[in-house]
């Protein structure tokens, strides 16, 4: 891993996909002009986060309007870009899929959300991604010149096994496009992000959309970048904003030496 600046784009998402591209382009260009080498967009950055919208906006990868947009701007600016997530159409199914694009526009990594957001919280929120979406079945990590990057999406955050698997695969940075809501967000968003960073001695970057003033899904926002000690390096509230920090490999090395938890694991004891 080398030292580099990462920027999370907490943007408001519209019904109009092209309008979302325009807003994302402005923010990505701004982040790149400030020195960001990795920019991250939020979950479902190109369409509203609701079950009824996913089939209407579904598109294929690596072709399709979102892929063309992401590949093009990554290559134009010479940056790494996590394309939040989009509804991906493949084999007659729809997936909640995140992508990582390299500085020449190449698709480096694809992650389909493994754990679908199916909840019924009394007095809170009811949402069922499985009514429309299918689940992915892989842990997603790739080596880049910035370091080894792992991808997960939103509800995946509640499953420490997936994040430990990324850490054991050598991840230095865990990236999470996610859209917690005003029920689960205040209770768990910060705690879970900090816990996944601490227990795996990894940097973690979690990017949410900003809530839309006209209503719809009540995104919690509060995008944040966390270091391996659990310190929040930067975060925002619920407004549209950019969150940025420099990730320092010497800090990662120092903490992994001080707290060698990955080496101290006892998998011989953990079997059930």
First to last CA, the chain: 35
What does the alpha-carbon distance between residue 159 and residue 67 come to, in Å, rounded to a whole number?
Answer: 28
Residues carrying an active site annotation? 43, 113, 154
Q: Strand runs (DSSP E) across the chain, as ranges?
A: 4-10, 36-40, 80-82, 86-90, 93-101, 107-112, 118-120, 126-128, 140-144, 147-151, 173-177, 203-207, 224-226, 232-235, 241-247
Classify each residue of 39-62 as buried b or exposed e, where b means 16 or more C-beta atoms within 10 Å of its C-beta: bbbbbbbbbbbeeebbeebbbebe
Sequence-ordered alpha helix ranges (H) in the chain = 17-33, 53-57, 65-77, 160-168, 184, 190-200, 249-258, 267-270
CA dihedral sign of residues 269, 256, 189, 220:
negative
Rg (Cα) of the chain, in Å, rounded? Answer: 17
Q: Cβ–Cβ contacts within 10 Å for residue 254, how many? A: 13
Q: Cβ–Cβ contacts within 10 Å for residue 104, how many? A: 9
């Amino acid at each position: 891993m080398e030292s580099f600046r990462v920027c999370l784009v907490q943007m408001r998402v519209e019904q109009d996909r092209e309008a979302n591209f325009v807003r994302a382009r402005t923010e990505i260009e701004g982040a790149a002009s400030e020195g960001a080498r990795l920019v991250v967009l939020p979950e479902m950055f190109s369409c509203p986060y609701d079950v009824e919208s996913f089939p209407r906006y579904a598109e294929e990868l690596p072709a399709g309007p979102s892929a063309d947009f992401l590949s093009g701007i990554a290559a134009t600016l010479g940056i790494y870009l996590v394309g939040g997530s989009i509804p991906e159409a493949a084999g007659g199914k729809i997936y909640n899929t995140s992508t990582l694009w390299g500085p020449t526009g190449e698709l480096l990594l694809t992650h389909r959300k493994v754990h679908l957001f199916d909840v019924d919280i009394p007095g809170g929120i009811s949402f069922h991604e499985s009514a429309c979406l299918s689940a992915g079945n892989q842990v997603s990590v790739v080596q880049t010149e910035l370091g080894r990057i792992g991808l997960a999406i939103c509800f995946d955050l509640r499953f420490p096994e997936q994040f430990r698997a990324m850490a054991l695969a050598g991840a230095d940075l865990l990236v999470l496009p996610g859209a917690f809501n005003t029920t689960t967000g205040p209770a768990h968003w910060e705690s879970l992000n900090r816990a996944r960073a601490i227990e795996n001695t990894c940097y973690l970057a979690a990017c949410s959309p900003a809530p839309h003033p006209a209503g719809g899904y009540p995104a919690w926002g509060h995008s944040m970048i966390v270091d391996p000690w659990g310190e929040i390096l930067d975060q925002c509230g619920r407004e549209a904003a950019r969150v940025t920090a420099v990730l320092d490999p010497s800090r990662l090395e120092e903490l992994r030496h001080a707290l060698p938890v990955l080496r101290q694991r006892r998998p011989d004891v953990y079997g059930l």
